[in-house]
């Protein structure tokens, strides 16, 4: 355990000391935030206000606009947390690729430390740093809401989000490690980061609501862990805001909104429960760990 602790500390410090790496790991979050605040957020808020007016008869327009804006911002915050869980863990895992490029990984392999401990060092450091960054993002989001005069999430919601953040970052850390086993130079890893950072917002239904996508695309996304991770966090983030926003509305309107925005994930008539989504995420982690262990044993350094 001492060796694993040293490796986790070493990898975490290498990442945190590289300011450019920290910045670029948050770049996807900044892009999503800018898109939502400048373009998509206002559009989604107005669409929701129109839905409330259509379904709810006589409404308080000012209250609806404020509630809709808050609800969409909470929905955005959940998406940003998932984007961070993916991109930060990938960036931290890139230390392994850098170690191979600079021949340090070969030196580690000839030490008495087992490959399993080396692997855990990379995975756990990505998990810890990713979790920390996501918690920092959550705190920043809460601070922003406080400055805007919105209510804060309850203690129970914050604790639930903390657990979901830890789960998501662990799952994506294991997947990132599996990717790193197939990449042997920093340039290729940078290209992978660019591709994943661009796609993760679409894969999680973050840049565009689910109802904006075709049925085949929606079906494909429902098989991926990003959407289920985002759905879990959206459910917790928006639970109270949805109740307030849709007060006096038919239940069907709330259900339509939840499915359209990827808060609820449906397979036909079946709605995935949080427990089922946790199992889906854990299944991906188990597959990544088993595949990573098999690849690691046969892996040859270049």
Q: For residue 129, what pLDDT is reported? A: 93
How far, CA to CA in Å, does 11 sit from each of 41, 55, 125?
37, 53, 6
Query: The whole model's pTM is what?
Result: 0.90
Buried b or exposed e, range 22-55, using 16+ CB within 10 angstroms: bebbbebbebbbeebeeebbeebbebbbebbeeb
DSSP bridge partners of 267? 270
What is the mean pLDDT of each successive set of 10 residues along the chain, which is 302 residues long? 83 80 66 63 70 70 81 88 90 88 77 81 93 90 85 90 96 94 84 83 78 86 92 92 83 83 88 93 93 77 58
Task: State the sign of the Cα–Cα–Cα–Cα dihedral 284, 288, 289, 291.
Answer: positive
* Rg, C-alpha atoms of the chain: 21
Q: For residue 299, what pLDDT is reported? A: 67
């Amino acid at each position: 355990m001492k060796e694993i602790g040293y490796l986790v500390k070493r990898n975490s410090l290498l990442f945190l000391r590289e300011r450019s790496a920290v910045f670029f790991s948050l770049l996807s979050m900044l892009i999503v935030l800018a898109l939502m605040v400048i373009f998509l957020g206002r559009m989604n808020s107005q669409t929701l206000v129109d839905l409330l007016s259509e379904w709810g008869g006589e409404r308080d327009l000012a209250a609806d606009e404020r509630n809709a804006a808050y609800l969409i911002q909470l929905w955005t915050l959940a998406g940003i947390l998932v984007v961070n869980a993916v991109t930060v863990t990938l960036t931290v895992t890139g230390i392994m690729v850098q170690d191979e490029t600079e021949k340090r990984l070969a030196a580690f392999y000839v030490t008495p430390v087992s490959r399993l401990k080396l692997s855990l060092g990379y995975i756990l450091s990505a998990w810890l740093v990713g979790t920390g960054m996501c918690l920092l993002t959550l705190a920043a989001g809460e601070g922003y809401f406080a400055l805007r005069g919105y209510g804060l999430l309850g203690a129970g919601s914050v604790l639930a989000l903390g657990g979901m953040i830890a789960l998501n970052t662990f799952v994506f850390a294991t997947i990132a490690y599996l990717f790193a086993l197939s990449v042997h130079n920093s340039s290729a890893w940078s290209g992978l980061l660019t591709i994943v950072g661009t796609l993760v917002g679409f894969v999680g239904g973050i840049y565009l609501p689910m109802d904006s996508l075709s049925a085949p695309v929606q079906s494909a996304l429902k098989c991926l862990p990003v959407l289920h991770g985002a759905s879990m966090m959206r459910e917790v983030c928006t639970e109270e805001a949805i109740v307030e926003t849709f007060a006096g509305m038919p239940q069907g309107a709330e259900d339509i909104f939840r499915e359209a925005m990827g808060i609820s994930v449906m397979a036909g008539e079946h709605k995935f429960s949080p427990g089922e989504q946790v199992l889906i995420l854990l299944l991906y982690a188990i597959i990544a760990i088993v595949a990573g262990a098999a690849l690691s044993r046969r892996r040859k350094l270049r």
